[in-house]
Amino acid sequence: MEGIPLLLLTVGLLYVIHKALAFHRAVRSVDNLPGYRVLFSQFGLPTFVFGRWRGISPGTNHFFEDKHSTFGEWDMNTVISALPSPLVTLTIADADTIKEITSSRARFPKPVYQYEVLSFFGRNIVASEGEEWKKYRKISAPAFSDRNNKLVWEETVRIMDSLFADLWKDKDVISLDHCVEITLPIALFVIGVAGFGRRISWRDDEVVPAGHTMSFKESLHIASSDVFMKVFLPNAAMKLTGRTRRVQTAFAELEEYMLKMIHERHSSEKVERHDLLSSLLDANNDDFSDQRLLDSELVGNIFIFLLAGHETTAHTLSFTFGFLALYQDEQEKLYQHIKSVLSDGRMPTYEDMPLLTYSMAVFYETLRLFPPVVNIPKYNPEDTVLTVGNQYGEKRTVPVPKNTWIAINTPGLHYNPRYWENPEEFKPSRFLKEYNKDAFIPFSAGARACLGRKFFETEGIAVLTMMVLNYKITVKEEPQFAGETFEQTKARIFQTKNALTLTPIRVPLTFTRRT
């Protein structure tokens, strides 16, 4: 028995030596490229427990928190963790290198296994690669048509007009504790009508149809707002609390609604519709022979479009309104620009969208500073090399061993001073002149770039234009923050966390009706 402690100590020491040697080999495998050296990776459970802790874990939101600050001589660095096995992640903020990666799908495919959790309704375009992905893209792409974009614009303007006339009708001043209180329902209503062909009203809740326990509006709201629970909690855990059971019910109800809509449109007389579901069904009924999608795949893909269009739009609009509240001169420029385009006092139309250049500039600058997805993952099935540059125009070739994790660092790119002058500043006018489009990737890039980009932009510009045209936006006055400096206020209202997308924690704003 006396030798057992010595044996355990020896085994423990050998284990540490083994891990240290493996870690050293991992560092050498990428030519000692600088970066984080940590015990646990940013993807492991310990990171959620320890948070950001030097030498232990980089934290779950380090891509956005660090932006470009951790890139030294080269616009590529590493996160190398020791446990449970050495893991090397290359993070990249070089526009040319990123273009090479996103243009070479065979060399740098998407690690779709990371997205399998989003297939609870059915296989879909986000959680697929290769021939399966091509099939989904071929059938989905026609749904995002100019006719659908026009529908998005018209319905968004209608929703905003109804917000002002019905919900805010008796109020000249509306203060919100968090801006998402209004941007989330706006985005939900838009996806309801432009995604599913179902109008949702500010005025009242829908009646729960026979055979259902929840209205379409409620199931859509809960499923889109609490998808995080569905993604990360096992089915057994979903039965433990009232809230998780309600989320589980919402997903079941939404699936029933979507399947019913599919079956009704299959069997009903053909009517011209331009919502995404109808367009997806039309494309699926075309002559694709054995490539037609199953009902589960139709539901899986339309839910992915819902998920992508709901949260990202709501959060981006919250950040946008926050910037306009802080930078009153920029808000006034935007207001005057909108007034010049709509000089006759009419409502904005879809045809006005190309003329609303400052609205787009404000929206793009927000997306540059707060990209919804901060890490676009890739990997390499075979050994390869990547060339990276620096501010002096020099180049360096870095070996990339087989199955290295590669992270396209969106904030690192968007805050890179090689491409953006004074990158920390909110300066929409930079998008009114030539800029490096390869250094702006809020919608990703290459063949796997976001299919719904124009949908997202159309909705965002319509909401922004209608809001600024009718209301002045300011930071909500709160006594406990009365002595703050501008920078302190900015830091407070732009606190974020990284969930499925970059998420504002609290953006308290006041909207005052213009006279």
Assess contact for 34 and 78: CB atoms under 8 A: yes
**CB within 8 Å of 70: residues ≥ 6 apart:** 35, 36, 77, 412
Both ends of the chain: CA-CA distance in Å?
Answer: 87
Q: Rounded to whole angstroms, how far apart are CA atoms 474 and 328?
A: 8
Is the omega angle on the peptide bond into residue 399 within 30 degrees of 0, that is, cis? no
Q: Which two tokens stand for residue 199?
A: 């109008």
Rounded CA-CA distance 422/432 in Å is 16
* Spatial CB neighbours of 394, under 8 Å, sequence gap ≥ 6: none
Burial (CB count <10 Å: 0-12, 13-18, 19+), residue 73: middle
Instruction: Quickly count: other Cβ atoms within 10 Å of residue 238's Cβ.
Output: 18
DSSP 28-83: HHTTT--EEEEEE-TTSHHHHHH-SBTTTB--TTHHHHHTTTT--SSSEEEEEEEE
Structure tokens at 399: 């070996």
State the pairing for strand pair 395-400/384-389: antiparallel
Annotated ligand binding at 450? The verdict is: yes
Amino acid at the residue 468: V
Identity of the amino acid at 18:
H
Q: Which residues contact 180 (CB under 8 A, 6 or more apart)?
A: 314, 315, 318, 504, 507
DSSP code for 39: E
Binding site as annotated, residues for heme: 450
Binding site as annotated, residues: 450
